[in-house]
């Protein structure tokens, strides 16, 4: 009888430890994905721009309305780290 109780306790504790380990691994993977999300979105946008420009004619690429000599940079207020 004592062996069954001991076996049950060991199995319950083992399962709790194993589930804790699985949750930690999944959490780490989730954090890695969230950290790479912004970079991936920019990469997709750049790939789409490159694809679109590759099918443009030379006259379309020289169009100053589409390709001005300056770039406007925007940033969300408060996102400059201060």
pLDDT for the residue numbered 79:
62
Q: Which helix (H) or strand (E) holds 61?
A: helix 58-61
H helix count then E strand count, the chain = 2, 0
**Domain ranges within the chain, ordered by starting residue:** 2-61
Q: What angle do CA 72, 76, 79 make, to 5 degrees?
A: 115
In this predicted model, what pLDDT tens digit does every residue of 30-78 receive, in sequence order?
A: 998 888 898 889 899 999 999 998 999 988 888 888 888 887 777 777 7
- Per-residue CA distances from 73 to 18, 54, 76 (Å): 48, 24, 10
pLDDT for the residue numbered 72:
77
Q: What angle do CA 29, 34, 35 make, to 5 degrees?
A: 100
- What pTM was computed for the model? 0.47
């Amino acid at each position: 009888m004592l062996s069954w109780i001991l076996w049950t306790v060991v199995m319950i504790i083992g399962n709790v430890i194993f589930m804790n380990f699985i949750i930690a691994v999944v959490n780490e993977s989730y954090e890695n994905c969230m950290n790479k999300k912004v970079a991936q979105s920019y990469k997709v946008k750049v790939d789409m721009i490159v694809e679109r420009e590759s099918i443009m004619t030379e006259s379309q690429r020289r169009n100053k309305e589409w390709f001005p000599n300056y770039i406007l940079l925007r940033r969300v207020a408060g996102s400059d780290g201060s």
